[in-house]
Amino acid sequence: MTRRRRTGQEHYHRDIQGGGARAAVFGVSDGLVSNVSLILGLSGAHPASSVIRLAGLAGLLGGAFSMAAGEYISMRAQKELFEREIEVERREIERHPTAELRELVHLYEQRGIPSDLAEQLAKEVMSNPVIALETHTREELGVNPDSLGQPIQAAVSSFVTFSIGAVVPLVPFLVGGGTSAVLAAIVAAGLAALVVGGLLSLFTGRSWWWSSIRQLLICAVAGAVTYGLGSAVGVSGAG
């Protein structure tokens, strides 16, 4: 969590640049939607309950590993890209300090700072190599060099939260089967969707009821479409 001081009082911001919070939000939502779609799709086809259990477990593990791998690879690649660009900027500051100074002055002038003050400020910044690199990185790349993301944190967070979301519609089939398990899975998924939507509102600042209803509608549409498809295709077997 970061802290800033303003007019004698402090206010706090969540640290959302590491990637863990974003991965958690997407993970639990994706786990719930994908596995409820898979389980209801199979339920509509009326296979044996053991088939639904197996598919649900496979969907949970396969999706969790896929999400974790995707988060890690994408964030690792993004971090390496930023690191490469920061190193390019570091070399430019070392080799062409005058040109980088003029560049910084121009950036400040574009923001409405008077030319003499912009030059004075730029010289102060450039006098410290660490501050110079950080400033150029922020101004030119829009990146905080100290917060390039944490791929492992994002991968673990994604794996765990996807699994949590995916297990909700699967639980009724782990303890039972048939129509009662299908109905229980629908109810459990609906309640979970409302909770997930409400939790999402804590991150986005949007209305909790709107976020909850939106998540519920997404799950409902996905489940209804796959259930209908499963019913249309169908399989033979006893539950």
Looking at residue 206, its pLDDT comes to 80
CA atoms of 93 and 131, how far apart (whole Å): 11
Looking at residue 235, its pLDDT comes to 61
Which parts of the chain sit beneath pLDDT 50? 1-13, 15-18, 236-239
Task: Note the pLDDT tens digit of each residue in 193-216.
Answer: 999 888 888 777 788 899 899 999
Looking at residue 175, its pLDDT comes to 93
Tokens for 155? 């991968």
CA 190, 191, 193, 198 torsion-angle sign: positive
- Residues 197, 202, 205: CA angle, nearest 5 degrees: 100
Looking at residue 13, its pLDDT comes to 47
Q: How far apart are the first and last CA of the chain?
A: 50
Looking at residue 16, its pLDDT comes to 47
C-beta of residue 84 within 8 angstroms of C-beta of residue 36: no
Query: Reduced to 3 states, what is the DSSP secondary structure of residue 127?
Result: coil
pTM of the model: 0.75
